Amino acid sequence: MSHVYLGKLTLFWCDACNVPVLGKRCAKCGNETRRVEVTPPGDIRPAFPFDVDLINRAIADGFGHEGMIQDKVVVLNKAPYEDRLDEIYVDGRMFGAVRFDPVRLRWIFMPRPYAAKQMKLTKGFVIADKGAEKPLLGSSNMLGPGVVGCDESIQIDDEVIVLVNGRPVAMGRAKMTGADMKARKKGVAVKTRWNGYDDHAVPAGGQTWDDAIAANANYIDGFESEGISFAKRVAAEKNLPVTVSYSGGKDSLATLLIVRKALPDFDVMYINTGLEFPETTANVHEVAEKYQLKLKVAEAESFWAAAPKFGPPSVEARWCCKVCKLGPITDLIENSYPEGCLSFIGQRRYESEVRAKSLRVWQNPWVGNQISASPIQNWTALHIWLYLFREKAPYNPLYERGFDRIGCWLCPSASLADYEYVRQQHPEMWQQWEAFLLDYCKKVGLSPGYVTYGLWRWKRLPPQWEEIRKALGITTTTPEGKVEALEFNVVCGHRPCKDGSVSAEGSFDAPLDLERLEVMLRPLGEIKTIDGVLFIPSAEGSVQVFATGTVVARGKDEAAVGETIRLAENAIRRGMLCTGCGVCVGACPINAITKENHKASISEACNACGECISICPLVKFRRSGGQ
């Protein structure tokens, strides 16, 4: 996967104090720090005791060493991966990584040399003969004939450590079982990922996050001071009522604290989407009470009332953001601030590529009377956490229970690891969602595996997830029942966190026959089939049609996009429910329509004039109020 730099990678380490530092000199001891190379985007965060326990369990499961990390300040870095992968830094060294395996559905530890040399291995080891040492140090894979001993319980794709004379020389993934390695079969036994010996000394533990706060005092003060000055300046320039958008997450909490120190009077706005964790809503009220703040709550329409109409939200069609976020916040601002307001928002460049390119002060095109600004735009997660720790702020307890992001708990942008935490900590919530997903999959002809492995999150699977689907043998099935009518529900609005464009996202209540529609949608324009999805581009935008019944139209103008999706709905309804009446055959000015097998068929000669859509009785009858 590609590594995207969203900002400066600002992790340094004080070897004297053995804590992370945000700059080149430690504020506690005065020594110069050592730069630590991290994988972009490099949004370093603390490991809470829950995280350390998870890492230790994964090490014990894979290699047999119990309670390996003790009494150390540990930081994590989320790196690109199919699901969730956190790099682990201990003593300022890359210790390894822990990943949630999307096939085995469990956490697995991936050791680096610094961790491997400290392990007392009883599992996951491969012993190589002396002759293999030089090739392994040269980054070669471990071949079967070079194995002289191993853990016989090793399975293919297990993480393993290769030893020569008792010293770890390489780490990687098994490509043979332990039994085949013991038999010294030909071929690659271990596909190595990291090679080489580690000779760094291992310092004693005993450090705490209070030590890290002291080591970063000047950096925290500097970022806080700049944030306060920014908030004061923007508030004076805009001269509007001031609000802070508080989500119950760490970034918005840091923003709230900055604004509280900068300005004497402001309101706090909270959007209760109906999909918030109970801990989040409780935290919002706790923060408002602790700091004596005026809280305004926007209550969303029920997600559960809309979901049967639209189906589950997906990465491509997040209709939930419009129903549960955009609408409520628009209403709240219009009713509370008729002249508009200035909202300070906890947005950071390290969160996404889009946010890295966004302005620090901006106007939401779909909440016209709201100006937004971010005092923490250039903060990393480590800046945020050191600041919250220093301020003894009441942050959301979910961070201490494995969650690294706080938001709607069933968000399609979340990982399988996140869903597993929901399942474990709020089983009643997950059971409701799982039942809905299983019912949806049954209706549109998807295997239950789409629920188990989170494949419902996409209308079109990314390549790596398509490979996982194939490897697991998950297939589509034949949906139950016959399509007698097609109900269509649509929502329009700004696409949050994307490119600022307008989208209209709708869903039919039955799966669609894309082979038939590839012919019948020609009046909308040139049709391209991309990975099993019908894509119809135009000068004004585009339309995507998915077999599950989802339709997405995009463009820069809301009125045009609304018209586009209305035409798409009518064309799809006509194609799916055609009775072969022949009205459109006679209406086509260029004779591009014929009847085949008692249904209309549109040839490639179609010039996309659209007259056949408007003349179709299925469309005219529905428009006149018939069902």
For the domain that residue 558 is a member of, what is the CATH number? 3.30.310.10
In a domain, 332, yes or no: yes
Q: Note the pLDDT of residue 582.
A: 74
Tell me, yes or no, whether 376 lies in a domain.
Answer: yes
Local confidence band at 497 (pLDDT 50, 70, 90 cut-offs): very low
pLDDT band at 496 (very low <50, low <70, confident <90, very high): very low
Residue 180 lies in a domain: yes
Structure tokens at 620: 């005219």
**Paired sense of beta strands 541-545 and 488-494, if any:** unpaired
Q: Are residues 395 and 308 both part of a single domain?
A: yes
Residues 438, 496 share a domain: no
Residue 8: what pLDDT? 63
Mean pLDDT within 599-606: 91
H or E element that contains 334: helix 327-336
Q: Are strands 593-596 and 167-174 parallel, antiparallel or unpaired?
A: unpaired
Number of structural domains found in the chain: 4
Measured between alpha carbons, how far is 298 from 376 in angstroms, rounded to an integer? 24
Average pLDDT over the chain, rounded to whole?
Answer: 90
> 165 and 283 share a domain?
no
Here the CATH number for the domain that contains residue 253 is 3.40.50.620
Q: Is residue 406 part of a domain?
A: no
Give the pLDDT mean for 425-445. Answer: 94
- How much is the average pLDDT of 374-396? 97
223 and 339 inside one domain: yes
Position 80 in a domain: no
Q: What is the pLDDT of residue 4?
A: 47
Q: What is the largest CA-CA distance in the chain?
A: 87
Find the helix or strand (DSSP H, E) in which 584 lies. Answer: helix 583-587
CB atoms under 10 Å from CB of 361, counted, come to: 16
74 located within any domain: no
Query: Which residue range(s) make up the domain with 147?
Result: 122-197
Per-residue pLDDT band at 351 (split at 50, 70, 90):
low
Question: Residue 14 pLDDT more than 90?
Answer: yes
| Residue 356 pLDDT | 45
DSSP string computed for 291-331: TT-EEEEEEPPPHHHHHHHH-S--SS--HHHIIIIIHHHHH
The pLDDT of residue 489 is above 70: yes
- Residue 266 is predicted with a pLDDT of 97
Distance CA 321, CA 325 (A): 5
Nearest to 151 by CA among 128, 182, 194: 182
Strands in 12-14's sheet, in edge-to-edge order, are 19-21, 12-14, 34-35
Is 609 part of any domain?
yes
**Do 395 and 431 fall into the same domain?**
no
- CA Rg, the chain, in Å? 28
Q: How does DSSP assign 83-118, residue by residue?
A: S-EEEEEETTEEEEEEEEETTTTEEEEEE-HHHHTT
Query: Do residues 494 and 464 both lie within one domain?
Result: no
Of residues 103 and 350, more confidently modeled: 103
Please tell me whether residues 249 and 386 are part of one structural domain. yes
Pairing of strands 74-78, 85-90: antiparallel
Do 272 and 371 share a domain, yes or no? yes
478: three-class secondary structure by DSSP: coil
Residue 433 and residue 537 in one domain: no
The CATH number assigned to the domain holding 148 equals 2.30.130.10
SS3 76: strand
Considering the domain architecture, whether residues 468 and 494 belong to the same structural domain is answered as no
The rounded distance, in Å, linking the Cα atoms of 373 and 350 is 16
Name the one residue in this structure whose structure tokens are 């119950």: 248
How high is the pLDDT of residue 625? Answer: 44
| Mean pLDDT value across residues 109-128 | 97
In terms of domains, do 157 and 184 share one? yes
In a domain? residue 46: no
Q: Residue 617, preceding bond cis, omega within 30 degrees?
A: no
Q: How far apart are CA 82 and CA 105, in angstroms?
A: 12
Alpha-carbon distances of 296 from 280, 316, 329, 333, 446, rounded to whole Å: 15, 31, 10, 10, 42
Residue 624 pLDDT class (50, 70, 90 cuts): very low
Contact in structure between 196 and 169 (CB atoms under 8 Å): yes
Q: What percent of the chain has pLDDT over 90?
A: 68
pLDDT tens digit sequence for 535-576: 998 877 889 998 888 899 988 778 888 888 888 999 998 888
182, 298: one domain: no
Q: How confident is residue 358, by pLDDT bands cut at 50, 70 and 90?
A: low
Residue with tokens 């935290």: 283
166's torsion region: left (phi>0), alpha (psi -120 to 50) or beta? left
pLDDT of res. 445: 84
CA-nearest of 360, 356, 384 to 372 is 360
Average pLDDT over residues 142-159: 97
- pLDDT for 344 equals 97
Mean pLDDT of 268-294: 97
pLDDT one-digit tens code per residue, 207-234: 999 999 999 999 999 999 999 999 999 9
Task: Quote the crossing angle between the two packed helices 381-391 and 250-262, to the nearest 10°.
Answer: 60
> Can you say how many angstroms the Cα of residue 328 is from the centroid of all Cα atoms in its chain?
23
